[in-house]
Amino acid sequence: MPKTWNETRVAATLGIDYPIIQGPLGGLSSQRLTAAVSNFGGLGSFGAHGLDPHAIQDIIGEIASLTSKPFAMNLWLSMEDDGAASSDAAAFHQALSHLAPHIDAVGGKQPAFSPYKRLRFEDQARVLLDAKVPVFSFIYGVPPREILEEARKQGIVTIGTVTTVEEAVVLEQAGVDLVVASGFEAGGHRGSFLRSSEDSLTGTISLVPQTVDAVTIPVIAAGGIADARGIAAAFALGAEGVQIGTAFLACKESGAPPVHREAILSHHAGHTGLTRGFTGRLARGIQNELMESMNRSGAEILPYPLQRSLMRHLAAPAQQAGKAELLALWAGQSANLVHCVAVEDLLNSLVRGAAARIPSTRDSYSQDKAPTPAI
């Protein structure tokens, strides 16, 4: 019996109908979106890196009350950059001086310095393990061996994210079940961990087949996939699943504010850029006045996660004022391909389009490794 496009090792390992993963949207996730994708037969994910363990526990309970299907909870391995712990009030005020005119422009309140409260990956991961979440996904590194072993014992599927082939090999050696190969087209943060983010800017079309060649675990393609053509292309490169972020962010079920969703759907979202200015780490969003201002030389950027906390003092009033030019408008390079505003419509079009485009004798795609040179 020929296999249909969706019968891949990714779908089998995750116990889902369609190997389509709604990418974790840290900070803009919603329980409703996560559950809706899982209920449809894909894998919904919730990005929980910014939350304390109690909040994470509550969210797992809420998602579990909305779906009986598998879903993923996502964390970041590396939670602070060098200098964050020792950063002082003087550094805060220097970074604020660049932002202050923008906060004034949207009628926000200028923030005061407050000492930094650290969140630890290990404490967050404990909640995921104790709750026996169906899937534990992560970026920015490799979890400690004990955590991966405990996940395996509990039957929790693990998914790591890579931005280079070398990172994929390290994750496979650590015993991670599935790997997301995220090209530089992707919206938000990509999670480089062996080299700097600036030195890990490989595109999806290069990264996916090289990752497929380098590891035996199934590869999920991410970055720039926003419609069924992207899924077919990813499968042609050897991926056995896709992870999509920006297209899900534009859905009304996501946690993005209306002004952000409208910017993605505006068809003027194609001009994206990379900046460290929004969080302290390199990430992709729509080019706007804020990104230009933060990328201007001389702008003081605090180490992650301090810059992210500082920027929240602008985000809240800018959202309230509906001022898209002064918001971090996370989006990937295929934002202009996004049309769907409801998650069910998006998933229907992805599934129907993939079935029409990907041959059912898919074995010629996903089991493909690079041909041996004939010399």
Q: Does 245 bind ligand FMN (CB under 6 A)?
A: yes
In contact, 193 and 169? CB cutoff 8 Å = no
How far out from the chain centre does Cα 312 lie?
Answer: 19
Q: Which of 11, 28, 131, 239 binds ligand FMN (CB under 6 A)?
A: 28
Alpha-carbon distance 231 to 294, whole Å? Answer: 34
Q: Which of 11, 16, 20, 25 binds ligand FMN (CB under 6 A)?
A: 25
Q: Which is nearer to ligand FMN, 28 or 96 (CB)?
A: 28
Contacts of 156 (CB under 8 A, 6+ apart): 128, 129, 132, 133, 134, 135, 136
Alpha-carbon distance 250 to 34, whole Å? Answer: 14
Contacts of 104 (CB under 8 A, 6+ apart): 110
Q: Does 74 bind ligand FMN (CB under 6 A)?
A: yes
Q: Does 49 bind ligand FMN (CB under 6 A)?
A: yes
Q: Which is nearer to ligand FMN, 308 or 323 (CB)?
A: 308
Q: Which of 143, 223, 238, 303 binds ligand FMN (CB under 6 A)?
A: 223
Which one-letter DSSP state was computed for residue 163?
A: S
Q: Which is nearer to ligand FMN, 96 or 314 (CB)?
A: 314
Q: Which of 24, 44, 108, 317 binds ligand FMN (CB under 6 A)?
A: 24
Q: Which of 185, 240, 253, 325 binds ligand FMN (CB under 6 A)?
A: 185
Alpha-carbon distance 229 to 27, whole Å? Answer: 28
Which of the residues 268 through 327 are near ligand FMN (CB under 6 A)?
none
Q: Are strands 157-162 and 135-139 parallel, antiparallel or unpaired?
A: parallel
Closest approach of ligand FMN to the CB of residue 92, in Å:
24
Q: What share of the chain is helix, strand, coil (3-state, %, to 5)?
A: 40, 15, 45
Amino acid of residue 159? I
Which of the residues 114 through 173 are near ligand FMN (CB under 6 A)?
139, 161
| Residue closest to 366 by CA, chosen among 245, 184, 247, 242 | 242
Residue nearest to ligand FMN (CB): 245
Q: Give 168's strand partners.
A: none
Which of the residues 186 through 215 are near ligand FMN (CB under 6 A)?
186-189
Q: Does 346 bind ligand FMN (CB under 6 A)?
A: no
Q: Which residues bind ligand FMN (CB under 6 A)?
A: 23-26, 28, 47, 49, 74, 139, 161, 182, 185-189, 222-225, 243-246, 249, 330, 332, 334
